Structure 1
Amino acid sequence: MNKQYRIVVAGCGGMANVWIKALLKRDDAVIVGLVDVHIGQAEKIRDAYGLECGVNTELGRAIVDTGADLVIDATIPDSHFEISTNAMKHGCHVFGEKPMAATMDQARKIIETADATSRSLSVMQNRRYDANIRALRELISSGMIGSPGMINADFFLGPHFGGFRDVMESPLILDMAIHTFDQARFIIGADPVSVYCHEFNPKGSWYKGNASAVCIYEMSDGSVFCYRGSWCAEGAPTSWEADWRIIGEKGTAIWDGVHTPYAEVLLADDSAEKKFIRDVARIEAPMDWNGKPGHEGCLDEMFLALREGRPAETDSRDNIHSMAMVLGAIESAKSGQKVMLG
């Protein structure tokens, strides 16, 4: 039987519900404590799920009292640095929400703390865990279209959230685009080198801050990733997974974020060089991945990594590159200049 991890959940707001529902399905996890600055909120969550655990307003005390070895950080982004470093210093591994920290300096210090304590922070990047994106990644890594030279992702939706997103300075990039940026890194297996971003708020937007952006990233494999996105685009929506076109030396891969990805690749025909538009064949992506989708799939990988004593796929050392794409884009938009990342 797998080890059963003793878990304290920090932050009892909306995201805590997502984590707790997934954890309650597992036989290798038991929730032994809830922490929130508002004790009544922790009690409300405890009672809603019928949990038999203590509640606390201070994370360190909760860890000591319960003997926890794993902390779930479901707090707001500005608290992630304090929660994750405190938990690791108390001997716990951490599974946390994105972004892993509020600043790059904090992110680097989190990794330093992980190294010093031999503990880890793994970040919930649930959109990696989908059979279609796994198939697209396999299609690219197989060399079917050759080396990618240009990666394009379009993200156009018009969600009327209300609440904090409506008044954020950069709602699209800060709250959502990290998913698409992380997906790009995952699909092509490369990290960002630089970014130029134009962020704006178009006519008709119901957001106070900039709800639209165009970003151009130079990647470590020499390719260019182009992101076009808007959270105030009424009509003709893309999927939440974005609409992808990846152009390589020998063909193009397509994924609409919903259906099975495919590629159109050049035919091996000696006479093709003479044609103005060369002939191609359609290749369906291999659908071999059978993991769980979304949060549960990411949790499976996180727990497996702990049991095997290795960094998770979304370990902080990897995820810092996705975070750099977000903060670099905002810096570029404010300065009007290309920003080097690294």
Structure 2
Amino acid sequence: MRFRTVPSGAADPLRVVIVGAGGMGRAWLATVADSPDTTLTGIADLDVALARRAADAAGLPDLPVGTDAVALARQTGAQAMINVTVPEAHHPVTTAALFAGLPVLGEKPAAENVSRALSLAAAAEVTGELFMVSQSRRWNPQLARLREMVARLGRIGTVSTSFFRSERFGGFRERMAYPLLVDMAIHAFDSARFLLGAEPVTAYCQSYNPPWSWYAGDANATVVFEMDGGTRYVYDGSWCSPGAPTSWNGAWRVSGEMGTASWDGDHDPILDAEGQTGQPTGPPYSGIAGALQVFVRALRTGEPPSGEVHENVMSLAMVESAVRSAASGRLERVDDVLRQAHAQALRDETRAEVRDALAGWSSARDALTGVSRSRSAGTGRR
């Protein structure tokens, strides 16, 4: 999708406002402050005292704060927004920003469900503004090197991720029905799509809660995805597995016709393939700092970034398909999830122009993959 560019450079950094002053918001505040490509103009939060404390803690006592992100952006001359609110607020905050002429870099997930994420994709089309999701593992140089190795393996049979940790978060995660699938697995699912350059077709999931678990919902899950092209992606994980923890990135194995690549999640990946030599390089950035760098570059050049909302929604669709399979006990088709989410988005949409864009899609999958869109990209409102 084409989108409006925003000129910036070394002498004129991109002016951004951050929405959300919690722990992740403070991490983004530090990232923006450290970047030569951006200037922070303000922090918005419904708890304005929290925003004030975040600014003070960062050594910015004079930084403007407020409760209305769009109003604060207008007041301070911000050119873009970083949305670090809770998932339930992603849709209203991002929609308001896009229609106010502000491109958005948002924390994952794009929205609290696929239906709302489809609405945001349509809103980006209508407004012609960039909405990019910061799926931070995409910027891990080791994952990028693993992807280059995968390209040397020929046809891929199986990709697997093991994720086993023992985490006591307290709060909302311990009350969720599917804490591992909903709160964490999207990182691995998105990474699998990135590695393979393939999209999910079906999902079969079994989830359960060990008897010693301190979670109310299922802390363990095993999911098998069929990807287009026939590769199987297998995710096996737990939030309550004491001892021998894996990396936060999980432990990966990719099996192909020419050999195998593996990655422990923390160190350089290993290629075991006959006749293959040389170490791939990978990008020079990582984490949310990498996401910010890519966002700024996209706004300068107009080049669609990895994580643009249309490209990102399929990762959330994998989560929703896995949860649906865990609940039904059956294999679930991702296109069924997309079709029902599209219908729900049409029913819920309150903006006529966004509803028209959604109605013009031949299918959600086609719209997300660029096969068919209802409007010419980049010709939206200004």
- Would the TM-score normalized by the shorter structure come out above 0.5? yes
Question: d(CA) in 1 for partners of 2:36 and 2:198?
Answer: 35
Q: Quick check: 1:23 aligned with 2:32?
A: yes
**How many angstroms does 1:153 deviate by?**
0.9
Amino acid in structure 2 at the alignment position of 1:168: M
- 2 CA distance for matches of 1:290 and 1:224? 27
Report the residue type matching 2:234 in the other structure. Answer: C
Classify 1:33/1:314 alpha carbon distance in 2 versus 1 (closer, same or farther; 3 Å). Answer: same
SS in 1 for 2:104: strand
SS, match of residue 195 in structure 2? helix
* Partner deviation per Cα, 1:69-116 (whole Å, 9 max, x = no partner): 211111000000001111000000101111110121111110111011
**Residue pair 2:139, 2:283 contacting (<8 A) in 1 also:** no
1:192 aligned partner, one-letter code: P
Tell me the residue number matched to 1:313. 306
The reply on whether 1:5 has 2:48 as its aligned counterpart is: no
Deviation readout 1:163-188 (Å, 9 max, x if unpaired): 22222221111111010111111111
Query: CA 1:129–1:285 in 2, change beyond 3 Å: closer, same or farther?
Result: farther
1:149 shift after superposition = 1.4
TM-score (norm 1): 0.91
Which of 321, 328, 331 pairs up with 2:324? 331
Shift of 1:59: 2.1
User: Identity over aligned residues, as a percent?
Assistant: 38
Residue 30 of structure 2 is aligned to residue 37 of structure 1: no
Q: TM-score when scaled to structure 2? A: 0.82
Instruction: Quote the residue 2:55 is aligned against.
Output: 46
Matched position secondary structure for 1:179: helix
Structural mapping, 1:1-342, within 5 Å: 1-2=9-10, 3-51=12-60, 52-141=62-151, 144-265=152-273, 281=274, 283=276, 286-342=279-335
- Answer yes or no: is the 8 Å Cα contact 1:131–1:287 preserved in 2: no
Structure 1 residue 318: Cα displacement: 1.1
For 1:27 and 1:294, the matched residues in 2 are separated by: 16
Structure 2 gaps of 5+ residues are 1-8, 336-382
Q: CA shift at 1:206, angstroms?
A: 1.2
CA distance in 1, matches of 2:217, 2:46: 28
How far apart in 2 are the matches of 1:133 and 1:214? Answer: 22
- Root mean square deviation of aligned Cα: 1.5
**Contact 1:171 1:209 survives alignment (8 Å):** yes
Residue aligning to 1:278: none
1:24 alignment partner, SS class:
helix
Task: Give the stretch that moved more between structures: 145-154 or 83-92.
Answer: 145-154
8 Å CA contact 2:37–2:293 kept in 1: the answer is no
Partners in 2 of 1:46 and 1:244 — Cα distance?
A: 39
Contact 1:246 1:254 (8 Å CA) reproduced: yes
Find the residue that maps to 2:72 and give its secondary structure.
helix
Moved more, 282-291 or 171-180: 282-291
Task: For residue 161 of structure 1, report the CA deviation from its aligned partner.
Answer: 1.9
234-243 or 72-81: bigger deviation:
234-243
**Conserved 8 A contact 1:6-1:68:** yes
Alpha-carbon deviation of 1:43? Answer: 1.1
Aligned to 2:352: none
- Give the distance between the partners of 1:290 and 1:115, measured in 2 at CA: 29
Structure 1 position 286, deviation (Å): 1.9
Q: Which moved more, 1:296-305 or 1:101-110?
A: 296-305
Q: Distance in 2 between matches of 1:27 and 1:128?
A: 21
| CA spacing shift, 1:63–1:69, aligned 2, 3 Å | same
Deviates more, 1:30-39 or 1:89-98: 30-39
Higher strand share: 1
Unaligned runs of 5+ in 1: 266-280
CA apart distance, 1:64: 2.3
Distance of 1:56 and 1:15 partners within structure 2: 18
Which gives a bigger RCO, structure 1 or 2 (Cα 8 Å, sep 6+)? 2
Contact preservation (8 Å) 1:192, 1:341: yes
What is the identity, as a one-letter code, of the residue corresponding to 2:31?
Answer: A
Once the two structures are superposed, residues 179-208 of structure 1 have per-residue CA deviations (whole angstroms, 9 ceiling, x without a partner) of 011111111111111111111111211111
What is the SS of the residue equivalent to 1:154?
strand
Do the aligned partners of 1:7 and 1:30 also contact (CA within 8 Å) in 2?
Answer: yes
Instruction: Find the aligned partners of 2:330 and 2:71 in 1 and give their Cα distance.
Output: 46
* CA displacement at 1:311 relative to structure 2: 1.8
CA contact (8 A) 1:260 1:284 kept: no
CA drift of 1:287 comes to 3.5
Shift of 1:337: 1.6
Q: Is the 8 A contact 2:110 2:309 kept in 1?
A: yes
Q: Deviation at 1:157?
A: 0.8
1:137 Cα deviation from its structure 2 partner: 0.2
